[in-house]
Amino acid sequence: MSELLQQIINGVSMGSIYALIALGYTMVYGILRFINFAHGDVFMVGAFVGFFVAPVVATLVGGSGLATAVLVMVISMAACALLGVTIEKLAYRPLRSRPKLTVLITAIGVSLFLEYGGQLVFGPDPKPFPALIPSIMIVNSRYLVLSSNSVVVIGTALVLMIVLRYIVFHTRMGTAMRAVSFDHRAASLMGINIDSVISFTFALGSGLAAAAAILYGSVYPSINPLMGLFPGLKAFIAAVLGGIGNLTGAVVGGLIIGLLETLVTGYISPVYRDAISFAVLILILLFRPSGILGRHEAEKV
Amino acid sequence: MKRHLSKLYLLLALVAAAIIARYQSSIGPYYFQIIMYIGINVILASSLNLINGFAGQFSLGHAGFMALGAYTSAVITTSLHVSPGTAASYPVFALALICGGIVASVFGLLVGIPSLRLKGDYLAITTLGLGEIIRVIIQSLNFLGAARGFTGIAKLSNFFWVYAVVAIVIFTIANLVRSTYGRGFLAVRDDEIAAEAVGVDATRYKIIAFTTGAFFAGIAGGLYAHFVTYINPSQFGFLRSFEIVVMVVVGGMGNIAGVILAAALLTILPEALRAVAQYRMVIYALLLIIIMISRPQGLFGQRIDWGRIWRRLSKRPSPPAEGKT
């Protein structure tokens, strides 16, 4: 029983990281109707920005602590937001009116570019991610180990999700985002600048990916240029599972995938950790392609 | 008439492959290896071209099919203790390759089924997922060597086998595409709804494309396994699939000659760029992005117009000093 509780805590903390990444996928999909394959690699860049910035910030602020952690996260989020906007501008914008397949292949190209560019710039070997907030054991008994890390991860993710919800549902830009996602042409006829809304969406999504990366680094303190691949794919699966284009769905999907993965690792075999998410994806796509919370869209001729 | 001609070409290609295979030992081992990889990559890229280029079903799981073929054929030849050079090795190897192809095409069918409901991005990520699932399953099977890999495979692949399959693949695909099936593929690719409306059975064509493509990928896997003699699951990851996709995209989706040329070029390119080997994948990635933005139809477009190239070359006045015609 206590083992199950332990797995659930780990699963929720992993799941909230997936949820943050999944939000980026789902927002971009909601607006552009395409899967930003490079999103997982933006996440990787976020981790590396954190890795390089943390020592500098620590010396400026003086030691590691909450202020350092928050500052590192904000810098990393800003850097990734910039990266996301740049990728959109250079690679995706010229292709906006082209067939979806073209954009998809380009996105794969961007993803490979970031991965292998990362290997050149950062080196292919794994690097230790610095502990930004010293981890304290809140509960450390024979039955249950609860470190402050998982509390921080879940708490931070929760705060970011609430902020995102506020932006999307209670600000002018959020309203514009929802309008664009509903109908590009109608939105632009209403005077909404589509380009800036899309840039903003990419900035928001990439920023969340960077935040997820910092949290991920604090749970798994080893980072490498290919680290974005699997979290990226799983977050994508989470987004599809929850119903792509739906913010709540991304969070629900992320939690389910995180839980499922830790349970499979704990009770069956760690070998199937990656396979289980893909199996879930295939099942959900076969039986309910619109996801748990997604609306079914009829195909228009 | 045209069909007979292409059969003649196939025969000629097979004979040529057999003749060259007799002299393969005179090719340096390094160049020989590159030549073999070119052949295997041509098979992989051409078979993916059938799925991606002609039927328009974007698949990212080709390495999975390749792995199935590689492992199936390797298990067959090693359990029968086939040694290269013996008379028995030829039919057994052929059988092993075909079995590998069949296993791969059965999985191709499995992948084809989701493609009936999924399109574009979803299909791409599902096929990627299936490819990964295949890899994970192989990795967990102890009798296949799990993550340690499968060793001691007889070196049965030679020039003849690889290039005979290359000839057969090109022959099959070229004929398939020119037949009613080919028209069906193109119709499904260009507009599935319209195709259904005029009575084209899209389901059937998608499944045919997936099973045929997977079959040849399986055979390519078998040839690869019996050339390198050691395989492990990580050789068949999604990066392998991406590499094959890049070949198809660079060559031009749906362009048979273009894809063959691209497969050959992209196999030679990293060898030629040995000095900057670490930039290889970055160059690949940039190539992919730039081609998609500036030339989405691939370097060679829909088809290579040899007539136009010839006319253009012959029209150009040659400098008289060199005396070329």
Summarised one tens digit per residue, pLDDT across range B179-209 is 888 888 888 888 888 888 888 888 888 888 8
Report how far residue B139's alpha carbon sits from residue B135's, in angstroms, rounded to the nearest whole number: 6
Please give the residue of chain A at the shortest CA–CA distance from B111.
A282
Q: How far is the C-alpha of B323 from the C-alpha of B304, rounded, in Å?
A: 29
CA gap A292, B257 in Å, rounded: 45
Pick the residue from chain A with its C-alpha nearest to B276. A120
Q: How confident is the model at residue A204 (pLDDT cuts 50, 70, 90)?
A: very high
User: Using a CB-CB distance cutoff of 8 angstroms, which residues of chain A are in contact with residue B61?
Assistant: none
Q: Is residue B52 part of a domain?
A: yes
Task: Give me the mean pLDDT over the B55-79 stretch.
Answer: 88
- ipTM confidence: 0.79
Q: Strand locations in A160-284, DSSP E?
A: 222-223
- Predicted confidence at residue B315, as pLDDT, reads 65
Judge whether B321 lies within some domain: no
Domain limits at B185? 2-315
Whether A243 is covered by a domain: the verdict is no
Q: How confident is the model at residue B324 (pLDDT cuts 50, 70, 90)?
A: very low
Compute how many other C-beta atoms are within 10 angstroms of the C-beta atom of residue A125.
8
Chain A residues with beta carbon closer than 8 angstroms to that of B292: 95, 102-103, 105-106, 109
pLDDT tens figures, A227-257:
998 899 899 889 988 888 888 999 999 999 9
Q: Is it the case that residue A216 has pLDDT exceeding 50? A: yes
* Alpha carbon B145 to chain centroid, angstroms: 26
Q: Is residue A249 part of a domain?
A: no
Does residue B78 register a pLDDT over 90?
no
Contact B210, B59 (CB under 8 A): yes
Q: Which of B58, B114, B281 sits opposite A112 (nearest CB)?
A: B281
Could you tell me the sign of the dihedral formed by the alpha carbons of B191, B195, B197, B203, in that order? negative
Residue A196 has pLDDT above 50, yes or no: yes
Q: Does A295 score more than 70 pLDDT?
A: no
Which range of residues forms the domain containing residue A80? 17-228
- Tell me the average pLDDT across A36-64: 89
pLDDT at B325 over 50: no
pLDDT of residue B317: 54
Q: Give the span between the Cα atoms of A256 and A250, in whole angstroms.
A: 10
- Split into its structural domains, chain B has a count of 1
For chain B, give the mean pLDDT: 82
B137 interaction partners in chain A (CB closer than 8 Å): 275
Mean pLDDT across the stretch B296-307?
A: 70
* Nearest-angstrom CA–CA distance, A42 and B86: 54
Q: Is residue B214 part of a domain?
A: yes
Rounded to whole angstroms, the Cα distance separating B273 from B277 reads 6
Q: Choose the closest CB to B118 out of A275, A278, A285.
A: A285
- Residue A81, pLDDT score: 96
Cα A130 from Cα A137, distance rounded (Å): 18
CB contact under 8 A, A95 and B129: no
The answer to whether residue B323 sits within a structural domain is: no
Helix (H) or strand (E) holding A137: strand A137-140
Give the residue from B99, B63, B224 showing the smallest Cα distance to B156: B224
Q: Look at residue A168 and tell me if it is in a domain.
A: yes
Q: When comparing pLDDT for B234 and A22, which is higher?
A: A22
Tell whether the model's pLDDT for residue A75 goes beyond 90.
yes
Domain assignment present for residue B324? The answer is no
Q: Is residue A75 situated within a structural domain?
A: yes
Task: Look at residue B250 and tell me whether its pLDDT is greater than 80.
Answer: yes
How far apart (Å, rounded) are the C-alpha atoms in residues A280 and B94?
37
- Mean pLDDT check: name the lowest of A13-17, A182-186, A285-289: A285-289
8 A C-beta contact, residue A92 and residue B292: no
Query: What is the domain count for chain A?
Result: 1
State the average pLDDT over residues A157-165: 94
Region class of B26: left (phi > 0), else alpha (psi between -120 and 50), else beta? alpha
Asked if residue A298 is part of any domain, the answer here is no
Which band of pLDDT confidence, cut at 50, 70 and 90, is reported for residue A155?
A: very high
The pLDDT tens digits for B9-61 are 777 878 877 777 777 777 778 888 888 899 999 999 999 999 888 888 888 88
Top residue of A102, A104, A105 to mutate, by most chain B CBs within 10 Å, is A105
Task: Answer yes or no: is B181 within a domain.
Answer: yes
Nearest partner of B265 among B294, B243, B241, B235, judged by Cα: B243
Q: Which residue has the higher pLDDT, B1 or A236?
A: A236
Q: What CATH number is attached to the domain comprising B241?
A: 1.10.3470
